[in-house]
Structure 1
Amino acid sequence: MSSEDKKAEFRRRAVRRDITTAGAAGGRSYLDGQLLVAMPVMGDPRFERSVIYLCAHSAEGAMGIIVNRPAGSIDFPGLLVQLEIIKKDDQIKLPENAESLKVLKGGPVETGRGFVLHSSDFFIQDATLRIDEEICLTATVDILKAIAKGAGPKHAILALGYAGWAAGQLESEIQDNGWLHCDADPDLIFGNDIEEKYSRALRKIGIDVGMLSNEAGHA
């Protein structure tokens, strides 16, 4: 198996593990449930000025969702039509929270797959990963159907793709001053002011862009 194939297989295993078993394990480990905030020295343009909610982090690697990068012209009602969850004529009948639900670029891995970060008032047995008391992750079409019917979570964002790290990779990037981290903020994660999330996350840590340096740090 080639190096790229091994990485792809790890990511597939990580997603399956995160959604089907991590929630049942109980308790948080490492930085799961926290926000990663990209430092100005971040050399990867895919993550420049990004804010990532870490859904799972362990000795085997990490998986997170970028919460401040819009998915261009893709909107949620149009996506429901594309997935044949609703008919085109039914777009005008969607509940308000479905019409306004944000579609984001969740990361560079499996960009054709949808991941819904949402409030913990919605849960599907064996499909939803409860990350903390306030935030869950579901990656099945059932949650999209529920949102379309007005029976979904109170707060949600839909991310296409996710960010993934192999074992030890995220720790190395933090040590190399690529990321800051802080406690999660549901208001920031689910807020509509996508363009302001990066500066809001930095203010939550207690710094501004001008204060950042090349020294490693964390909250």
Structure 2
Amino acid sequence: MSGMTEVSSLTGRLLVATPALADPNFDRAVVLLLDHDEEGSLGVVLNRPTPVDVGDILEGWAELTGEPGVVFQGGPVSLDSALGVAVIPGGGSVDRSPLGWKRVYGAIGLVDLEAPPELLASALGSLRIFAGYAGWGPGQLEDELVEGAWYVVESEPGDVSSPSPERLWREVLRRQRSELAMVATYPDDPSLN
């Protein structure tokens, strides 16, 4: 019997912070997993807008980002590096991914921010720029899932570019067809429960 169980990949899924999650970095966070395998996991927090305009750090990309046109804090790791996550409508056709875009899951993919923005401008449905990311070492995320820190739910392409990121945590929970929809009604201050 092998000690390493096959990790079924959660790439493309959302991690939604449970009210039990104590880490303030991830309070009510909605994380899109961009990579998940036995070597660890990487994702970006979708609901942490910063006051920084995209145009202030990546001029050419600013007009391609949706509202709000700010940089999002993707997580506590590598805050000085930028990640572009874009949805390509009809990104389902495997043979023709636009140059400068690498599929992560379905229509969601990573943008090469070194590429000229014009390469992607016509193909992009939505683009969001993240400073930093959330990372987990091998088995770390699995441990947190066992501890009940996260709900794992399906992502929808619109989650990446939600125009009201402050409502995303509740919206994602509310659309679940399970008892999770009830969690969306939790007051912001758990002591009120």
On whether the aligned pair clears a TM of 0.5, the verdict is yes
Residue 124 (structure 1) aligned with residue 99 (structure 2): yes
- Alignment CA distance shift 1:193-1:205 (3 Å): same
Residue 209 (structure 1) aligned with residue 183 (structure 2): yes
CA distance in structure 2 between the aligned counterparts of 1:176 and 1:106, rounded to whole angstroms: 23
CA distance in structure 1 between the aligned counterparts of 2:77 and 2:24, rounded to whole angstroms: 15
C-alpha offsets along residues 59-80 of structure 1, whole Å, 9 cap, x if unaligned?
Answer: 1100001000012x20112223
Residue 48 (structure 1) aligned with residue 27 (structure 2): yes
CA distance in structure 2 between the aligned counterparts of 1:110 and 1:70, rounded to whole angstroms: 16
Partner of 2:56: 78
Residue 138 (structure 1) aligned with residue 111 (structure 2): yes
Give the aligned residue type for 2:135.
Answer: G
Give the aligned residue type for 1:66.
Answer: V
Q: CA shift at 1:129, angstroms?
A: 3.0
RMSD of aligned residue pairs (Cα, Å): 2.7
Higher strand share: 2
Partner of 1:7: none
Conserved? CA contact 1:98–1:148, under 8 Å: no
- Alignment CA distance shift 1:161-1:211 (3 Å): same
Deviation above 2 Å: which 4+ runs of structure 1?
97-102, 120-125, 138-141, 147-152, 208-212
Partner of 1:215: none
- Alignment CA distance shift 1:152-1:104 (3 Å): farther
Query: Which 5+ residue runs of structure 2 have no aligned equivalent?
Result: 1-6, 92-96, 187-193
Higher helix share: 1
Of residues 79, 82, 90 in structure 2, which corresponds to 1:114? Answer: 82
Query: Which 5+ residue runs of structure 1 have no aligned equivalent?
Result: 1-27, 87-93, 213-219
CA distance in structure 1 between the aligned counterparts of 2:118 and 2:43, rounded to whole angstroms: 22
Larger displacement relative to structure 2 (44-53 or 133-142): 133-142
Conserved? CA contact 1:98–1:147, under 8 Å: no
TM-score normalised according to structure 1 size: 0.68
Give the aligned residue type for 1:186.
Answer: P
Partner of 1:104: 72
TM-score normalised according to structure 2 size: 0.77
Partner of 1:8: none
Q: CA shift at 1:99, angstroms?
A: 7.2
- Alignment CA distance shift 1:149-1:163 (3 Å): closer
Q: Tell me the SS of whatever aligns to 2:141.
A: helix
Partner of 1:60: 39
CA distance in structure 1 between the aligned counterparts of 2:120 and 2:33, rounded to whole angstroms: 28
